[in-house]
Structure formats: structure tokens, C-alpha cells
Amino acid sequence: MFLMRFTERAYVNYTEEDVRNSPNEAVRLTFSNSNFDPQEGHYLYNMYLDEYEYSEEVGFDGLMLNEHHNTPTCLGATMNLEAAILARNTKNSKIVLLGNPLPIFDNPIRLAEELAEIDMISGGRLVSGFVRGTGGGESGHQHQPAAQPGALRRSPRPGHQRPGPRPAPSVGKDTDEKAYDVGKGYMVGNIGVGRIPLPRDYASPVGYGSRSDDPRFLRLREQVRSDPFRVGGLDGAAYDSILDSKRWIIGSPDTVISQLREVLSFMRPGILAVWTNDGSISHEDTMRCLELMGQEVLPALREIGEELELTDPFQKEGAQPGLTRM
């Protein structure tokens, strides 16, 4: 079984009031980059890269990256750049991209060259996925924007000053109770500070909205609105109900191993992406989580994978010849 680590790399240095003052009270697309602190951004980008590099040290087979645009819930706006850094600074883990949104690239050959160079630097460790993207992402790149151009210039602002030292909070005992408290930081990761529900049709294709009578859009809208991950999802769900449903698995190593065994036995995946630490969870708590993953959870998951005969694509002979790293 192939075990890879993922996080959205969120930015949470803003307030609920900032979101409510955004057009449509949305934390995506229309959220102004005036809420972005370049010094904080400098710290976070380097922190997230440090955490990914440590993820290889503790034993993850893959380091998964994604990208979103015009939202503080994911700082990865150009994941290929992050992949290039990890290609040089890591040695064994595969670098998994999920994925490059093709509609925002005007020159696919240029993209292919970029990915090929990253793969060469890594020694053949790049696993490059592609996605179609959503209306929000395309609008953010001026692809047939449905809003005024002034509302779309929301990229992170460049920084020119070196940030000062940051305090390091202490880490408590590694128990279910400790994990329960720390895990609440996830609540602001994917939804944003204040957990204000997103506009219902925020993911609609560019140029479409609630007033459209195009039958193709209406079918898509119904599909989106019936998706439990988008309607009545994290922005409206209580923390305990999320844990009770095993939508998130949070706890001590023993608890996590036990619950993941149950999930693996039912789902039987060959590849497991572990979304570790997001939102307002501190760097210190994240590093401790990764340490425990390497010491206790990952070895147990490999044993469970062998016991259940969960085989990943990279275990098949000839599937990934790889290159020799110089």
C-alpha cells in the first residue's frame, strides 16, 4: 500500500469580519489580498516545505501537492514551483501532483516541459495528475471572468521585509484528549476563519449562476448541491458529528490505527493519502503528529496493508522504472 501525505497549506491570519466584508461574504475568489501579510506568507511557505521534507524522513512514500487560486484556504497557487523545490531537497518520496488545472494554461507544451524538468531533477519521482478545475479557479486567472476585473486581482502580495521571530507554543501529552483539542484547527482550514458558508453556487462554471436556465448547468447544479461535501458540509457541521462519522480520524496513535484499520478493511485502497494537520494547527503540533505517524502509525498501516493484501500500482514490476539519482 502506498502512503502519501497531504495538506492544503492554509493561511489563517485574518478575521471573520474580514470575510464578512468581502463581496458575497466569500473567502474564495472575492477575498481581497489586502488581508494577506507578506511576512506571514514568507514564514508559512517555508514552514510547509519544512514539514513536507520531514514527512519523507518519517517514512511517507509520497508527498502530495495541490493548488487552488484566490483563496486563503490553500497557499499552493503554483504547486509546480513547490514540487521543484521538493524534487531537489528530497531523495526518495514520490512527488504527487493533483493536479495541474489545464484550462488555465495557454501553452500545454510549456507545461509539459516544466513537468519533465521537475521529473529529471527528482530522479523520476514525479507523479503528475491533471484536473479540469472549477469556475472559481478559471475566473481567478481572468479566463472569461464573470465579475468585474477589480474583484479578481487577489494573488498573494510579494514581501520585501524579513519576518521577526515567532513564539513556539508547547505541545501537551499525545492522548485522545490532546488530539481532540488540536484537531479543531481543521475547522478553519478548508472553510476559512469564521466558517462562513460559501455562496451556494460558488463552484459554478464561469458565466453561470442561479438565474441560468441552461439545462446542462441545471444538471450540474443539482449534482453539486446534492454533494454532502458541499451542502451541509464542514461549514455547517459540528466537530463531534464529523468525528463520529469518521469523516476525520483524530486521536492518539492507537486510536488512529484502530479506526484506519476499519476504514481500510471496508474501502481496500491501494493508495492512502493522509491529510495531516491544516488550518490553525501549529507547526510544533504538526511536527509532533508527523513524528508519531512515523514511529507508530505508518509501520502499523504497512502491516495492515500486507495483511489485507492491499497492493498499490507502484509495486507492480515494470510500472515505474525510475532513474538513477546522481
The three three-digit cell numbers of residue 196, written as one number: 462562513
Coil, helix or strand at residue 48: helix
Distance of CA 54 to the CA centre of its chain: 17
Q: Count Cβ atoms below 10 Å from residue 206 Cβ, excluding itself.
A: 16
**147: three-class secondary structure by DSSP:** coil
pLDDT at 165: 35
* pLDDT score, position 72: 92
Structure confidence at residue 166 (pLDDT): 35
| Pairing mode of beta strands 271-275, 94-101 | unpaired
Give the CA diameter of the chain. Answer: 58
Query: CA 64, CA 276: separation in Å to the nearest integer?
Result: 11
Q: In what order do the strands lie in the sheet with 2-6?
A: 126-131, 94-101, 62-65, 2-6, 271-275
Beta-bridge mates of residue 124 = none
pTM: 0.82
CA-only gyration radius of the chain, Å: 20
Give the alpha-carbon dihedral of 126, 127, 133, 139, to 10 degrees.
Answer: 0
| Secondary structure class of 207 (helix, strand, coil) | coil
* Per-10-residue mean pLDDT, the chain, length 326: 95 94 84 94 97 98 93 92 98 96 86 97 96 64 44 42 35 73 85 79 63 79 62 65 84 94 93 91 95 96 95 66 48
Residue 290 vs residues 95, 132, 166, 190, 322: alpha-carbon distances, Å: 17, 31, 21, 20, 27
Angle 136-69-6 from CA coordinates, rounded to 5°: 115
CA distances from 232 to 30, 59, 126, 198, 221 (A): 22, 36, 36, 11, 15
Contact 131, 165 (CB under 8 A): no
What pLDDT is recorded for position 187? 83
**Can you give the pLDDT at residue 192?**
86
Distance of CA 95 to the CA centre of its chain: 14
Cell for 210? Answer: 442561479
Q: Which CATH superfamily is domain 2-145+170-197+238-315 in?
A: Luciferase-like domain (3.20.20.30)
- List the domain boundaries for the chain: 2-145+170-197+238-315, 199-234
